[in-house]
Amino acid sequence: MATGQLFSRTTQALFYNYKQLPIQRMLDFDFLCGRETPSVAGIINPGAEGFQKLFFGQEEIAIPVHSTIEAACAAHPTADVFINFASYRSAAASSNLALKQPTIRVVAIIAEGVPEADTKELIAYARANNKVVIGPATVGGIQAGAFKIGDTAGTIDNIIQCKLYRPGSVGFVSKSGGMSNELYNTIARVTDGIYEGIAIGGDVFPGSTLSDHVLRFNNIPQVKMIVVLGELGGRDEYSLVEALKAGKINKPVCAWVSGTCARLFKSEVQFGHAGAKSGGEMESAQAKNQALGDAGAVVPTSYEAFETSIKETFQKLAEEGKISPIKEFTPPQIPEDLNSAIKSGKVRAPTHIISTISDDRGEEPCYAGVPMSTIIEKGMGVGDVISLLWFKRSLPRYCTQFIEICIMLCADHGPCVSGAHNTIVTARAGKDLVSSLVSGLLTIGPRFGGAIDDAARYFKDAYDRKLSPYEFVESMKKKGIRVPGIGHRIKRGDNKDKRVELLQLFARTNFPSTKYMEYAVEVETYTLSKANNLVMNVDGAIGSLFLDLLAGSGMFTKQEIDEIISIGYLNGLFVLARSIGLIGHTFDQKRLKQPLYRHPWEDVLYTK
């Protein structure tokens, strides 16, 4: 491995398995360091394509999302680092594929628990092809002021405290990601800071070893001293011992192997990492520390003395003139995310949508404050749900029953009415369900099913002004307005609409008052004296009866009733009901595999 620097200020990575927080932390680090380009070139999310919006400083940017590793590498040939956030189940396969891409030079595997056999294969391939694997079970690595992998070094506050926004003179390598953060802080206190830091991961077989990175650091001119934090278990540290003995490392090395407390236990101890398990005296922390010290590394007597050893080594180099003072600067401030600023009480932001009918923020959705479980437990029906979502209150049972009856009676009126006809023609043209449904719904209006609100409005106005049926009808005639809710193309006075009769029967049996309906019936009696087809239709029945429902229930003010009628609530009932039938006609035509409809010539009057 050896060679030298892994990363630079122009290094870009491909991020596998989208995770918003670590990517945003990388981009915030880029901005902190004054990078001109984001370090994340693309995201790989198997099966997904498009863009993900993230922030680069104050600017919102769109990072491309690719469905395959091959596509991402082809689209971003200069991105040579592959950051793998896949689970342990798929990390090996995706890392293996990434290593085989000619553009990828470094692969960082974050997942713990990758099968050891798979890891060994990855290591063998990487070494044979002069590529670098960091991990598995790693937090990643960082080059101060240039590039960082994922969550390395934690929060922006920690990065600033550890002076990682600009390069120092210390190369650092550890097995532990958590202890890396601790050492970054320690090193920043007693030296000019980190130049590069790597956490190789805590698994038994890391993709790259402590000595691999120490030898790299030895070849980087900007690195003046090296700090190593090992741990009991395994024999990785002994390769570093051999390198020191062979004179391959000519820079001061401060080292400590943690886990000396293991001797206090009578039985074998397994620490946090899979590899942190002593398998004999040579794998003990004491033996490794002794060997490193004998080989020439600066090894303290305890972890507590590690900071002093690092400080003294750095001071000696500075006194010898081997380290030049670093010019400090104040890094730019990272803009705070709106959500966190709101939570901390620093800002207040206006909302963009107001909702008073439902709330999905708790453990379960609520309709007008009623939990979904309550709706089910109380055996509520569709009418009850409509009363909650449309009227924002629980209406009496006779009201919700009436709503359900309206939906059932208006669900369909055969294939010949305009809405059904449009839906059938559209479905036979091969269009999808939504297109066919909307085609039918668009015919609803003043001439087809959309007169319920107008019927209610005119009947209410006439009744409240105490107009006789004669006065009402004749005044409408003078205005040139047909009475909404009166008149039918098929039904007659001696063959009334059965739906109207059923609605009126239910109301007379259950409603406390039917004054508006009875007024509409009186109007019908007068219009039938004019023509036998001026019979009350279902729009007129629903419109007048809904007035009785609203007024008779005692749950609505006059202002609320007027608002309900003006907004279009009552036409909403017909739209909701007829959608059921239109969907049925769509399925019917598709089930029957009906061909494209063409209207017959003989049914068209061709004239000049």
So which residues are the catalytic ones?
273
Amino acid in position 328: E
Q: What is the SS3 assignment for 70?
A: helix
Residue that is written with structure tokens 């003072």 in the block: 325
Amino acid in position 41: A
* Angstrom distance (rounded) from CA 313 to CA 298: 8
Query: Per residue in 443-481, is it b (16+ CB within 10 Å) or e — as a string?
Result: bbeeebbbbbbbbbbbbbebbeeebebeebbeebeeeee
Tokens for 219, please give them: 């070849």
Determine how many CB atoms are found less than 10 A away from the CB of residue 117. 9
Residue that is written with structure tokens 């927080």 in the block: 21
Supply angle C-alpha 339, 343, 345, rounded to 5: 115
Task: Name residues whose C-beta falls within 8 Å of residue 212's C-beta, 6 or more positions apart in sequence.
Answer: 1, 2
* Angstrom distance (rounded) from CA 481 to CA 475: 9
The upper half-sphere exposure of residue 231, i.e. CA atoms within 13 Å in the direction of its Cβ, equals 23
CA dihedral 247, 249, 254, 257 (to 10 degrees): -80
Determine how many CB atoms are found less than 10 A away from the CB of residue 45. 17
Tokens for 406, please give them: 């309206």
Q: At what angle do helices 306-319 and 177-190 cross, to 10 degrees?
A: 40
Task: Tell me which residue of 131, 140, 134, 186 sits closest to 163, measured CA to CA.
Answer: 186
* Angstrom distance (rounded) from CA 326 to CA 280: 44
Q: How, if at all, do strands 225-231 and 170-174 pair?
A: parallel
Amino acid in position 475: S
Q: What is the SS3 assignment for 346?
A: coil
What stretch of H or E contains 563? helix 558-567
Task: Tell me which residue of 12, 2, 175 sits closest to 81, measured CA to CA.
Answer: 12
CA dihedral 176, 182, 185, 186 (to 10 degrees): -100
Task: Tell me which residue of 211, 228, 230, 306 sits closest to 273, measured CA to CA.
Answer: 230
- Helix, strand, coil % (nearest 5) of the chain? 45, 15, 40
**Cα separations (Å) of 79 from 10, 76, 98, 101, 127?**
9, 6, 12, 11, 20
Supply angle C-alpha 344, 348, 352, rounded to 5: 125
* Angstrom distance (rounded) from CA 148 to CA 9: 10
Say if residues 493 and 535 touch (Cβ distance below 8 Å).
Answer: yes
Residues β-bridged to residue 51: 64
